């Protein structure tokens, strides 16, 4: 596990969680960006990417 991958995953998690319950298109877009960053970090660390929609609790 790389430090860079862990940081990306953590930053993506924070961004996703901060915006996942927003009603605006901008909030949903930011949640998607957070999920993408989170998945990029997970892939770098050899983990499977998250495939569920942001905000579903999985």
Q: Does residue 57 belong to any structural domain of this protein?
A: no
The pLDDT tens digits for 12-45 are 999 999 998 888 999 999 999 999 999 999 999 9
Domain extent at residue 34? 3-44
4 — phi, psi (to 5°)?
Answer: -60, -45
Helix (H, G, I), strand (E, B) or coil at 6: helix
> Is residue 50 one of the residues assigned to a domain?
no
Contacts 24+ apart (CB under 8 A), 31-36: 31/55, 36/12
The structure's pTM equals 0.82
**pLDDT for residue 54 is more than 90:** no
Report the number of distinct structural domains present in the chain: 1
> Residue 55: inside a domain, yes or no?
no
Whether 28 is covered by a domain: the verdict is yes
Whether 13 is covered by a domain: the verdict is: yes
Is residue 53 in some structural domain? no
The secondary structure of 9-57 as a DSSP string is HHHHHHHHHHHTT--SHHHHHHHHHHHHHHHHHHHHTTPPPP-SPTTS-
Residue positions counted in the chain: 58
Q: Judge whether 40 lies within some domain.
A: yes
């Amino acid at each position: 596990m790389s430090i860079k991958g862990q940081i990306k995953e953590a930053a993506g998690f924070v961004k996703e969680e901060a915006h996942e319950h927003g009603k605006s298109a901008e909030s949903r877009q930011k949640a998607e960006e957070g999920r993408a960053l989170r998945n990029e970090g997970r892939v770098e660390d050899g983990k499977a990417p998250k495939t569920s929609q942001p905000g579903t609790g999985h």
